[in-house]
Amino acid sequence: MVKLNVDAQVAGGVYAGLGAVIRDENGLIVLTATKRMRITDVVNLDAMAIRFGMNVALRFNYKCIWVESDSLSAINSVQSKTLGRTPFYLVIVDIIKLRALFNICNFSHVRRNGNTVAHLVARGDTGSDSELICLNSFPQSIVTLANLDLV
């Protein structure tokens, strides 16, 4: 079982960032992923961050995950399988479908101050690429925040 923290960041301009952090059973970071995309509303971005993180976990063959997000509306919508016709609910449907691809997939809400590592990763620079995945040599700021979570 790995823990997947996700978040979205809007920093002005026309782009937003999605961030995903995967940690092992000891709380150590094994992967970070950042995706740059066009801005949409924040609630939709938070749901898109969950979907992005789950897709990254699948790409790296993690089959047992615990997803944490500071978006209460996204987590509640996934857990209750709430449906609708807005773009937000279309992403929720994608998340529900992705959930079936995991052996274990749990969701929980975490307060914003418990999700700072994913928030920092979402702010990351992807350079000229739309996505950046890091499997080692994480920036010191990310390692420091992750270590504070372990204390």
- Report which DSSP code applies to 102: S
In a domain, 149, yes or no: no
Domain count across the chain: 1
- Residues of the domain holding 35: 2-143
Instruction: Give pLDDT tens digits for 37-91.
Output: 998 888 899 999 999 999 999 999 999 999 999 999 999 999 999 888 899 999 9
In a domain, 150, yes or no: no
- pTM for the full model? 0.94
> Which residues are CB-contacts of 151 (< 8 A; sequence separation ≥ 6)?
none
> Of 105, 82, 88, 103, which is closest to residue 4 (Cα–Cα)?
105
In a domain, 151, yes or no: no
